[in-house]
């Protein structure tokens, strides 16, 4: 019998148990299990759905300004409890505390944007579209909505979803990653403290059984997902099959183009953080550098080698660390196998992080930064999303060759170009087939009042996450056309289709 603390669910404003299965939650820096998370069964998820459905009518009819005030209160509470939340994130994910704080801050910005919802929900009105006829549109809440979120941003990605969903008048069920569940639960409790009524936000921890229940239950009207492309494709197909609105953000393989005229020193600094920050476990990470010309490639490789040698890798709670461990032992083994595969396929392993040992944390899931040169399309390490601290350099002869390579890849999440040439930058941003593009910015993640999403097999669905698209995703437009005939005036029947002619 396990004596580890148990992480349950939050339903109708209360912590509850539910489900006969559970699994360990590990501290990646030590390799030791520190708690167990209960995996919700179908009955538990259906209880959450029922509570969300019951809470919806009153919340939908709550004035938007009052809903916005809850978001304002939540922002203050998240800032107040930032240290507590970041400690939770680091203990379960492994990222360094500074990175956890950056993640949380980005989530808080989305909460702040959701507090503008009275303005965002204003409809459109036209007077006298016909004789004494007025027309207007409204954005109405959908009902019970749900979000399924990944391990790599346990606080930020949930805050991409449910704050805007509930600000728009919906109720919400969050299914966070079972690998690092506690920060999402704690934030939901802070939302209650901020004034969110019980049942409006419910959190269920679980696995495929929980996900399938959310996808199949007709009471759930919309589902948001962030994760790998195979799962995103499944979520999208299964949710649509059951008549739901679905946005499913999938994987990525982001390329950074370095032009011959680039400021190499600044490009190298930017690439270090983009490739190795959060141990590479970001869908917006840069795992591939496409260097235009051998001179640019050689300079980038030399710069990266020098910077990697200075990196400090260790537990995320230790001061001054640049990179922590990977999230789980199976993921560590998977990423390490990708490095083995790259060597086998003939790429040049310039920096080998496979034998890194962190004193006092020998059982932690630490992989040092790895750097490949001479990576080529067709190699597994070029094609597949590694999600680890592995950076590959591809050599090409022209910008067009680089762009053709990027456009040919199945993913189109993010990309960037390092250059001093405005013409090259403009051509690149105008023509590249990727959803988020940076110019001398390696992680072009949109701020909260824009929207996040890729192209091709990085996104299934028409609307991007958070920002203005979130308002459209979590509401339905209703258009009303109204006429009040003058008293005592009787008009004859009109059989032609109405028009304003």
Catalytic residues: 283
Alpha carbon distance 90, 183 (integer Å): 10
Alpha carbon distance 224, 248 (integer Å): 6
226-244 CB burial, b ≥16 within 10 A, e <16: bbbbebbebbbebbbeeeb
Alpha carbon distance 160, 142 (integer Å): 17
Strand order from edge to edge, sheet including 459-460: 14-16, 9-11, 201-203, 171-175, 144-148, 220-226, 245-249, 459-460
Write out the H or E segment, with its range, that includes residue 139.
Answer: strand 133-141
Helix axes 294-308, 264-276, angle to 10 degrees: 60
SS (H, E, C) 335-394: HHHHHHHHHHHCCEEEECCCCCCCCCCCCCCCCCCEEEECCCCCCHHHHCCCCCCEEEEE
- Number of C-beta neighbours around residue 71 at 10 A: 24
User: What DSSP string runs through 185-244?
Assistant: HHHHHHHHHTTPPTTSEEE---SHHHHHHHHH-TTEEEEEEES-HHHHHHHHHHHHHTT-
The closest of 221, 239, 62, 52 to 145, measured between CA atoms, is 221
- Provide the 8-state DSSP code for 447: P
Alpha carbon distance 353, 288 (integer Å): 17
The closest of 397, 347, 356 to 374, measured between CA atoms, is 347
Cα distances (angstroms) measured from residue 59 to each of 96, 118, 198, 448:
38, 14, 10, 24
Is beta strand 245-249 parallel, antiparallel or unpaired with respect to 144-148? unpaired
CA triple 415-418-424, angle to 5 deg: 90
């Amino acid at each position: 019998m396990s004596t580890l603390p148990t992480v349950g669910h939050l339903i109708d404003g209360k912590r509850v148990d539910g489900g006969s299965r559970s699994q360990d939650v590990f501290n990646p820096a030590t390799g030791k299990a520190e708690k167990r998370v209960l995996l919700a069964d179908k009955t538990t998820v259906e209880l959450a759905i029922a509570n969300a459905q019951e809470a919806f009518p009153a919340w939908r009819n709550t004035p938007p300004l009052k809903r916005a005030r809850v978001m304002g209160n939540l922002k203050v509470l998240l800032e107040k409890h930032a240290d507590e939340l970041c400690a939770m994130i680091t203990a379960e994910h492994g990222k360094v505390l500074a990175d956890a704080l950056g993640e949380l801050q980005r989530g808080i910005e989305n909460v702040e944007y959701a507090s503008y919802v009275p303005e965002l929900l204003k409809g459109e009105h036209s007077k006298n579209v016909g004789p004494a006829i007025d027309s207007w549109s409204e954005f109405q809440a959908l009902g019970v909505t749900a979000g399924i979120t990944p391990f790599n941003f346990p606080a930020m990605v949930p805050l991409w979803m449910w704050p805007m969903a509930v600000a728009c008048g919906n109720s919400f069920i969050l299914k966070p990653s079972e690998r690092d569940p506690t920060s999402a639960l704690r934030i939901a409790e802070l939302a209650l403290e901020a004034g969110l009524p019980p049942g409006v936000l419910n959190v269920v921890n679980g696995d495929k059984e929980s996900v399938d229940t959310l996808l199949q239950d007709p009471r759930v009207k919309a589902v948001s997902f962030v994760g790998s492309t195979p799962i995103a494709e499944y979520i999208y197909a299964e949710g649509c099959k059951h008549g739901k609105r679905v946005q499913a953000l999938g994987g990525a393989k982001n390329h950074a183009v370095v032009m011959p005229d680039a400021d190499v020193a600044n490009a190298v600094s930017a690439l270090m953080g983009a490739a190795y920050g959060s141990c590479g476990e970001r869908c917006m990470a840069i795992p591939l550098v496409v260097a235009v010309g051998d001179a640019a490639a050689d300079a980038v490789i030399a710069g990266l080698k020098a910077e990697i040698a200075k990196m400090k890798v260790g537990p995320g709670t230790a001061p001054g660390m640049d990179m922590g461990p990977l999230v789980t032992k199976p993921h560590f083994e998977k990423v390490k196998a990708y490095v083995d595969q790259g060597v086998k396929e003939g790429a040049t392993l310039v920096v080998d992080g496979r034998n890194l040992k962190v004193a006092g944390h020998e059982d932690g899931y630490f992989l040092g930064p790895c750097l490949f040169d001479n990576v080529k399309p067709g190699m597994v390490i070029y094609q597949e999303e590694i999600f680890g601290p592995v950076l590959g350099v591809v050599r090409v002869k022209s910008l067009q060759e680089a762009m053709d390579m990027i456009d040919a890849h199945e993913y189109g999440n993010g990309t960037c170009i390092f250059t001093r040439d405005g013409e090259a930058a403009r051509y690149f941003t105008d023509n590249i087939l990727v959803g988020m593009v940076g110019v001398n910015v390696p992680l072009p993640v949109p701020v909260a009042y824009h929207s996040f999403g890729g192209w091709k097999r990085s996104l299934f669905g028409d609307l991007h996450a958070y920002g203005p698209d979130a308002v459209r995703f979590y509401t339905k437009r209703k258009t009303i056309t109204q006429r009040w005939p003058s008293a005592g005036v009787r008009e004859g029947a009109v059989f032609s289709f109405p028009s304003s002619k």
